[in-house]
Amino acid sequence: MKLNRLAISEEGFIFDPETGNSYTVNETGLLILKKLREGLGPEEIAEAMSEEYEVSPEEALRDVQDFLETIARFGLWEEKAWLK
């Protein structure tokens, strides 16, 4: 999975060693990336987020899906990667 090759700093700076592209993410984005790398799916990540940030699981899931769409556009995430 492409996510595994990324260098992710605690400050939210992301570097892709294959393409040379870099990105920045906020605290929430960083949390989502870390959870994705741990192998969690969107629902599980939304659950973790709703515990962390006091948002409803539904709202958190929408945010996760938005984020996934964004990183998919950058070629860092493929939806089928975790649709089992």
Residues that bind other proteins (CB under 8 A): 7, 15, 17-22, 75
Distance CA 76, CA 33 (A): 10
Distance CA 7, CA 30 (A): 12
To other proteins, the closest distance from the beta carbon of 1 in angstroms equals: 14
Structure tokens at 54: 């006091």
To other proteins, the closest distance from the beta carbon of 32 in angstroms equals: 22
Of 23 and 44, the one with the shorter C-beta distance to other proteins is: 23
Distance CA 10, CA 33 (A): 11
Of 14 and 48, the one with the shorter C-beta distance to other proteins is: 14
Structure tokens at 2: 């492409």
Of 17 and 39, the one with the shorter C-beta distance to other proteins is: 17
To other proteins, the closest distance from the beta carbon of 18 in angstroms equals: 5
- Residue 14, H or E segment: strand 13-15
